[in-house]
Amino acid sequence: MSALHIAIIVPFLLALIVPLLYNKIPKVHTGWFVLILPTILFAYLISFIPTLSAGEVVVRKLAWVPSLGINFDIHLDGLSLLFGLLITGIGALVVLYSIFYLTKKGEALHNFYFYLLMFMGAMLGVVLSGNLMVMYVFWELTSLSSSLLIGYWHHREKSRYGAQKSMLITVTGGFAMLAGFALLYVMTGTFTITEIITQADVVAASNLFIPAMLLILMGAFTKSAQFPFHIWLPDAMEAPTPVSAYLHSATMVKMGIYLVARLSPVFSGAPEWFWIVSGVGLFTLLWGSFNAVRQTDLKSILAYSTISQLGMLMSMLGVGSAAAYYGYEAGYTAATVAAIFHLINHSTFKGSLFMVAGIIDHETGTRDIRKLGGLMTFMPITFTISIIGAFSMAGIYPFNGFLSKEMFLDTMLNATEIADFNMQTFGILFPVVAWVASVFTFIYCMILVFKPFTGKYQPEKLDKKPHEAPIGMLIPPIILASLVVLFGFFPNILSDSIIEPAVQAIYPASLTGVENFDIHISAWHGIDYSPLHMTIGIIIIGTLMYLTLSKWQKVYQYLRLHQKDPVNYVYDFLLEKLVVVAAKITNIQITGLLRDYFVYMYVFLLGLTFYTMYRFDAFAIDTTNVAPIPLYVWFVVAVVAAAVIAVPFINNRVVAIISVGFVGFLVSLFYVLFRAPDLALTQLLVETVTTALFLLCFYHLPELRKENFKPSFKWVNVIISVGVGALVTVMALSALSFGNKKPFESISQYYIDNAHDLGGGDNIVNVILVDFRGLDTMLEILVLGIAALGVVTLIKLRMSGKEDV
Amino acid sequence: MEILIVVLIGVLFSVATYLILTKSLFRVVLGTVLISHGAHLLILTMGGLGGESAPLLGEDASSYTDPLPQALILTAIVISFGMTALLLVMTYRTYKVHQTDDLDKLRGRSDE
């Protein structure tokens, strides 16, 4: 076990101690103890940067279930490191923020930090795992802890709804992903990611390529809130704001992005991958940005904006996969670079914006933009942070969002030049959709900044008198906002250390052979640079549309989008119908009537057996080896049959008892005829006792009435009964004739030969019962004893004062 | 002879099945009694009905009937007897408690 393994496990261990700290040291906010860990982990992960910049990959092996190829292997490359730094870095800031956000009184802090640490460990596990199965385990742990965090205020109904929804959707996707991993294993024979990548050509040639790809993408799309699985994310906003900032903007929702990037070397180059990833990404981008504009809750705007930005990242990865098809030409590889750069930028500005929303909520008591206004004078620092974050998201110079948006538009313009994948026909959609979505992005960013902070101050609508947040709550967003500005002015400080190893991790082949693959993000490309013109267009059109917002916002009502996302109707409908239909099926099937269950069983038995016999042509009658029938046997058989057939028609209990008893006595006569004296004796005794027992109970037994079934029931009963009789007869006859065809020696000759010498008795049946097969007899005695105890208990035992059952 | 007995066993199974499918608990118990008769006879028949003598070595016959099915049936008779007794008492008890043996009415509680 290496230090990296311990880094993954430590959060879980600390999570175990958290409740103890909470109880034993109530004076100190538990968050302070938690804060230490992500800080240390962040510093520890930073120490790997020099190694990875040199192009090395850190691998640590640890056997877990080696026989199944499931090992807790660590594979730390540029991509993992980038995510690891995001998780620990933003984790530390979020913990610091939460210390001031959640008060010591009235909050179940031990629960909160327990879940949060569990989440952190799981996330580190996902990004550092080199083995798909281990990755899946951690992946599901993130779903679980995320649900727990969404439902943190579990007394609220909306929280529970959101938690359930996110759980159902992400776990469904996770399960599909597991199936996809299993298919990858079938194709390559290994779960180790690096080994799968080396066999990418095997995967590409396989029939299972498309199913595996779709299943794995299903996992990625549900986790990363891509259309139509995005609906859980807005409902996840019921979580405490630090959780929203951490999980639902910066880290967990990027797991899908991570998965797509991680498995790009395996799947990219295929047109299906290109179209699904970039198509879904672009549509999500448009849908998210379009819907964000109509929201009135700050966190809902941010949720849809996250959806939209995730779609943007996804589409860039999709276009980047064209690079693999064209042998890693620099023009297309740039799309991947843009994706990685925007990933970092998004984490910084979105994290800070969520924290700002939390501050506004915390200091005014509401997040509804219709109630907020004119907060600029009360909260100047928050306002500044929010301007930096929102302008960066909108793509305005000089913040980092500007650079990544330029790269994004450039990517989309380049995509039109792809000559394959039908891009001649549909390629023009890429820049158009990107541009329209960017306009909407611009509009909601403006709403985010100007609605709460400018305009009219409405104190009567607010519960509290607004004031600036405590300094501890401001530090994390200030740090993030500083990073936004820093990356905006000096975009290249990350390119060698982080972005280049990450791109190399996604497309290992892209950098081999290229001597100076030097990623250089340039802020200024000259006046003729077409993305710049697009950006100017976005700003102009966006500003005009923002100013005329009230006029055209009615369009949402015409489109019937003003209440909830239409996909939610589908989800709610399905969930409701699932319960209703399941209840219906249960009510039809589970009637509570013994007869019905027997009908199911008999129908199945008859169908299965007759079909099997028909299928293998097993009907046969063979008259060889059949003993001759003496005349008196005909007579006895006729009498027994008559007595048996009479039983259902008898409506008198004494007659019924006697008739059944009569059958029993005649059966013992059969035993006499077939030379079985012991059987005859036993049957005679047992039948006598049974009949006596029936007659003893006689007075207490219910009166027999005529059966009055529905006519349809009656006929079903008759058909089934005749069918069962026929089945037994046909099977017995077939068995007899097949036994004649392939006769084998019975073991009974052994008993006959040895009963005297070994068993010391001449009655072979009795010797078998007590000597050769004595165990049966012992257990049979036990059965009889238990039955006797049961009888006694049933008669004697009465629950005093309780229900008598 | 085997064929005739097998047909009789079929009749036993048919009637027993019909009784098990009825609504009266008492008839269901009678059905189980008949079905065990059918099963016992089936075991005996499938072991073969030939053989000259009962499986008693003192008879000194040239061939004996198969002793093993007989041992098996003996065990089965005793077990089915125990079962019948228990079922009968359960019917009795059900009738005492619920005042009915109509399975249509014995369908769980209304508040379930």
Q: What is the pLDDT of residues B55-65, one digit of tens each?
A: 888 777 778 88
B52/A627 Cα distance (integer angstroms): 11
Closest C-alpha to A107, from A155, A177, A67: A155
Asked if residue A458 has pLDDT above 80, the reply is no
Residue range A657-708, pLDDT digits in tens: 889 999 999 999 999 988 899 999 999 999 999 988 888 877 777 676 766 6
Residue range A309-348, pLDDT digits in tens: 999 999 988 888 877 777 666 667 778 888 888 998 999 8
B9 touching A (Cβ < 8 Å): yes
pLDDT at A805: 46
Residue B86: which of A634, A705, A791 has the nearest Cβ?
A: A791
User: Which of A764, A766, A804 is the best substitution to test chain B (most B C-beta atoms within 10 A)?
Assistant: A764
User: Which of A619, A675, A718, A803 is the best substitution to test chain B (most B C-beta atoms within 10 A)?
Assistant: A675
pLDDT at A114: 92
Which of the four pLDDT bands, split at 50, 70 and 90, describes residue A509?
low
A441/A304 Cα distance (integer angstroms): 10
User: Which of B35, B37, B94 is the best substitution to test chain A (most A C-beta atoms within 10 A)?
Assistant: B37
pLDDT at A420: 72
Asked if residue A410 has pLDDT above 50, the reply is yes
Q: A697 and B50: CB-CB below 8 Å?
A: no
A736 touching B (Cβ < 8 Å): yes
Residue A368 three-state SS = strand
| DSSP structure class, residue A708 | -
The pair of three-digit structure tokens given for residue A137, joined into one six-digit string: 């385990």
Residue range A3-29, pLDDT digits in tens: 888 889 999 999 999 888 888 888 888
Q: How many CB atoms lie within 10 A of CB A394?
A: 26
Which of the four pLDDT bands, split at 50, 70 and 90, describes residue A270?
confident
Q: A644 and B15: CB-CB below 8 Å?
A: yes
**Chain B positions in Cβ-Cβ contact with residue A682 (cut-off 8 Å):** 74, 77-78
Torsion angle, CA of A654/A655/A656/A660, rounded to 10 degrees? 110
- Ranked by mean pLDDT, the top range of A87-96, A190-199, A455-464, A521-530 is A87-96
Residues 27-86 of B with CB under 8 A from A: 27-28, 30, 33-34, 37-38, 40-42, 44-46, 48-51, 53-58, 64-68, 70-71, 73-75, 77-79, 81-86
pLDDT at A515: 43
Residue type, A230: H
Beta bridge partners of A76: A58
Residue range A703-739, pLDDT digits in tens: 767 666 666 678 889 999 999 999 999 999 998 888 7
CB B14 within 8 A of CB B34: no
A361/A239 Cα distance (integer angstroms): 13
Q: How many CB atoms lie within 10 A of CB A413?
A: 17
A648/A651 Cα distance (integer angstroms): 8
CB A114 within 8 A of CB A133: no
A323-328: long-range contacts, CB 8 A cutoff, minimum separation 24: A323/A268, A323/A507, A323/A510, A324/A264, A324/A265, A324/A268, A324/A269, A324/A507, A324/A509, A325/A268, A325/A269, A325/A274, A325/A420, A325/A421, A328/A507, A328/A509, A328/A510, A328/A514
Q: B74 and A621: CB-CB below 8 Å?
A: no
The pair of three-digit structure tokens given for residue A174, joined into one six-digit string: 């996770």
Q: How far is B51 from chain A (nearest CA, A)?
A: 9
pLDDT at A711: 65
Asked if residue A292 has pLDDT above 70, the reply is yes
**Chain B positions in Cβ-Cβ contact with residue A646 (cut-off 8 Å):** none
A619/A780 Cα distance (integer angstroms): 36
Q: B11 and A795: CB-CB below 8 Å?
A: no
Beta bridge partners of A613: none
Residue range A525-554, pLDDT digits in tens: 666 677 788 888 888 888 888 888 777 777
B1 touching A (Cβ < 8 Å): yes
Residues of chain A with pLDDT > 70, as a percent, come to 93
Q: What's the whole-number mean pLDDT along residues A266-291?
A: 88
pLDDT at A147: 92
Helices of type H across A518-565: 530-547, 549-552, 555-558
**Chain A positions in Cβ-Cβ contact with residue B13 (cut-off 8 Å):** 724-725, 727-728
CB contact burial A69-103 (16+ within 10 A = b; e otherwise): bbbbbbbbbbbbbbbbbbbbbbbbbbbbbbbbbbe
DSSP string computed for A24-88: H-TTS-HHHHHHHHHHHHHHHHHTTHHHHHTT--EEE--EEEGGGTEE--EEE-HHHHHHHHHHH
| DSSP structure class, residue A703 | P
Residue A801 three-state SS = coil
B105 touching A (Cβ < 8 Å): no
Residues 669-728 of A with CB under 8 A from B: 670-671, 674-679, 682-683, 686, 689-690, 693-694, 697, 700-702, 704-705, 707, 709, 717-718, 720-722, 724-728
A736 Cβ contact partners less than 8 Å away, ≥ 6 residues apart: A622, B2, B6, B46
CB contact burial A428-453 (16+ within 10 A = b; e otherwise): eebbebbbbbbbbbbbbbbbbbbbbb
A330-364 helix and A471-489 helix, angle to the nearest 10 degrees: 160
**Chain A positions in Cβ-Cβ contact with residue B90 (cut-off 8 Å):** 794
A13/A433 Cα distance (integer angstroms): 47
Q: What's the whole-number mean pLDDT along residues B73-80?
A: 94
Q: How far is A557 from chain B (nearest CA, A)?
A: 46
**Chain A positions in Cβ-Cβ contact with residue B32 (cut-off 8 Å):** none
Lowest mean pLDDT among A336-340, A558-562, A759-763, A764-768: A558-562
The pair of three-digit structure tokens given for residue A12, joined into one six-digit string: 């879980």
What secondary structure, in 3-state letters, does A632-688 show? HHHHHHHHHHHHHHHHHHCCCHHHHHHHHHHHHHHHHHHHHHCCCHHHHHHHHHHHH
Asked if residue A521 has pLDDT above 80, the reply is no
Which of the four pLDDT bands, split at 50, 70 and 90, describes residue A512?
low
Asked if residue A516 has pLDDT above 50, the reply is no
Torsion angle, CA of A47/A48/A52/A58, rounded to 10 degrees? 160
A377 Cβ contact partners less than 8 Å away, ≥ 6 residues apart: A457
Q: Work out the mean pLDDT of chain A and round it to a whole number.
A: 86
A314/A306 Cα distance (integer angstroms): 12
CB A124 within 8 A of CB A87: yes
Least CA distance to B62: which residue of chain A? A752
Residue pointed to by tokens 């080994």: A195
pTM, 2 dp: 0.81
B104 touching A (Cβ < 8 Å): yes
pLDDT at B107: 76
Residue range A621-659, pLDDT digits in tens: 777 767 778 888 889 999 999 999 998 888 888 888 889
A127/A143 Cα distance (integer angstroms): 14
CB A663 within 8 A of CB B37: yes
**Longest Cα separation, chain A:** 116
The pair of three-digit structure tokens given for residue A631, joined into one six-digit string: 């005349």
A18/A31 Cα distance (integer angstroms): 9
